[in-house]
């Protein structure tokens, strides 16, 4: 059972940070790993050939364990979600007339990549609209996604949850339906992985992408990706030296090698050895493995359920438990509560949340408590 972990962070006591989906605060251990790495770079003569490869391998192994990947060689180090999604989009099989399914108001990085490849390949993007009725929205939305998958479908690309309000998408059912038509399933896990259980073994997606600075609790500028064996012969975005076969042998670098590192190794970003960010992200993932994502979800549920019930009593709309993540959810206001007044109250009380679409996006973490939600809910009263 996970307990409050705020002591492991440097968050000021004066603020209530319910905004992990925007950016995670830095763990003290991750900050230390960064400081140590910066100091080490002051002595480049102590950085050897092995350092270019050992750090990335440890990071890939940690990420593979986190998302239940049998072979860490199927993972790659990326600088951003857009980079990882572009690798996937550029290598899926598309024919003129094929359809790419995405959901309404999806995060831009998981839209632009598909718009570009759809234009190139004369494919069509099919957007599954958000159900208008907030009651039962998650159930209806999932049904509409499943109904949209047919013989024209070549790709389904979405997150495990919607980034704006935490609506859960049934990836197992979507994978099962997409498999019937040999459609690829590409997952943007940036607002999910690290905070909730995720298994590549169980879901069998074609690719999974995640930034590092949200629920992986790492630094900005580094992320991770998984690519299935179907991508083993794909064309990477970059032609850098380190993703080439036998690049570990510096004496042979001028003997240019047409081959790539095994499996997803070809998709590693240039300078993937980043001597500062790699140790930081490795440390944060190791901490997540100690906590375990299931415990993370349970903790967020335990501290928020009373507050959610109180908000619903005040007339706010929040997705049903079965179709709502516990670390990220949207609060939709009734007409009698004014959003601008509420924002002013949050500012006065030093409460940090986000606003996405029509929802107040609330994203608690292991550094929050039930008292944080009591303070949050109190701002809604007498408005």
Q: CA 383, CA 380: separation in Å to the nearest integer? A: 6
Specify the pairing of strand 207-211 against strand 223-227: antiparallel
pLDDT confidence of residue 134: 86
The CATH 3.40.640.10 domain(s) of the chain lie at: 39-290
Count the helix, strand and coil residues of the chain and give each as a percent rounded to the nearest 5: 40, 15, 45
Decide: helix, strand or coil at residue 100: strand
Reduce the DSSP state of residue 17 to 3 states and report it. Answer: strand
Q: What is the pLDDT of residue 135?
A: 87
Contacts of 202 (CB under 8 A, 6+ apart): 68, 172
Neighbours of 43 (CB within 10 A): 8
Q: List the one residue out of 201, 198, 182 whose CA is nearest residue 190.
A: 198
Q: Give the class (CATH, top level) of 6-27+292-378.
A: alpha beta
Report the DSSP beta bridge partners of residue 329: 362
| CATH of range 39-290; options 3.40.640.10, 3.40.190.10, 3.10.310.10, 3.40.50.720 | 3.40.640.10
Q: Where in the chain is the domain with CATH 3.90.1150.10?
A: 6-27+292-378
pLDDT digit of tens for each residue in the chain (383 aa)?
899 999 999 999 999 999 999 999 999 999 999 999 999 999 999 999 999 999 999 999 999 999 999 999 999 999 999 999 999 999 999 999 999 999 999 999 999 999 999 999 999 999 999 999 888 999 999 999 999 999 999 999 999 999 999 999 999 999 999 999 999 999 999 999 999 999 999 999 999 999 999 999 999 999 999 999 999 999 999 999 999 999 999 999 999 999 999 999 999 999 999 999 999 999 999 999 999 999 999 999 999 999 999 999 999 999 999 999 999 999 999 999 999 999 999 999 999 999 999 999 999 999 999 999 999 999 998 75
Q: How far apart are CA 166 and CA 332, in angstroms?
A: 12
- C-alpha dihedral sign at 71, 366, 27, 165: positive
């Amino acid at each position: 059972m996970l307990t409050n972990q705020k002591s492991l962070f440097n968050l000021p006591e004066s603020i209530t940070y319910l905004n992990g989906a925007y950016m995670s605060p830095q763990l003290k251990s991750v900050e230390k790993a960064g400081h140590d790495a910066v100091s080490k770079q002051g002595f480049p003569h102590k950085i050897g050939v092995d350092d270019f490869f050992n750090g990335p391998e440890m990071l890939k192994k940690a990420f593979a364990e986190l998302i239940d990947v049998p072979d860490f060689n199927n993972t790659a180090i990326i600088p951003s979600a857009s980079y990882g999604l572009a690798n996937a989009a550029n290598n899926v099989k598309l024919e003129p007339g094929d359809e790419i399914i995405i959901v309404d108001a999806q995060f831009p990085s998981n839209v632009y990549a598909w718009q570009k490849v759809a234009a190139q390949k004369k494919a069509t993007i099919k957007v599954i609209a958000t159900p208008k009725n907030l009651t039962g929205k998650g159930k209806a939305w999932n049904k509409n996604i499943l109904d949209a998958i047919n013989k024209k479908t070549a790709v389904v690309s979405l997150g495990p949850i919607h980034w704006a309000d935490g609506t859960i998408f049934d990836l197992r059912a979507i994978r099962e339906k997409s498999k019937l038509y040999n459609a690829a399933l590409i997952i943007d896990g940036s607002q999910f992985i690290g905070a909730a259980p995720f298994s590549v073994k169980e879901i069998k997606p074609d690719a999974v992408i995640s930034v590092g600075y949200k629920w992986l609790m790492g630094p900005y500028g580094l992320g991770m990706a998984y690519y299935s064996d179907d991508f083993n012969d794909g064309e990477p975005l970059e032609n850098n030296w380190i993703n080439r076969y036998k690049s570990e042998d510096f004496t042979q670098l001028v003997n240019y090698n047409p081959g790539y590192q095994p499996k997803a190794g070809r998709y590693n970003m240039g300078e993937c050895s980043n001597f500062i960010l790699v140790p930081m992200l490795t440390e944060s993932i190791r901490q997540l493995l100690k906590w375990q994502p299931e415990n993370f979800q349970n903790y967020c549920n335990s501290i928020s359920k009373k507050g959610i019930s109180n908000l619903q009593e005040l007339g706010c709309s929040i997705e049903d438990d079965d179709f709502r993540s516990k670390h990220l959810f949207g609060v939709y206001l009734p007409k009698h509560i004014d959003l601008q007044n509420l924002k002013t109250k949050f500012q006065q009380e030093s409460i940090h949340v986000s606003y996405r679409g029509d929802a107040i996006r609330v994203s608690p973490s292991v550094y929050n408590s039930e008292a944080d939600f009591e303070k949050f809910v109190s701002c809604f009263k007498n408005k």
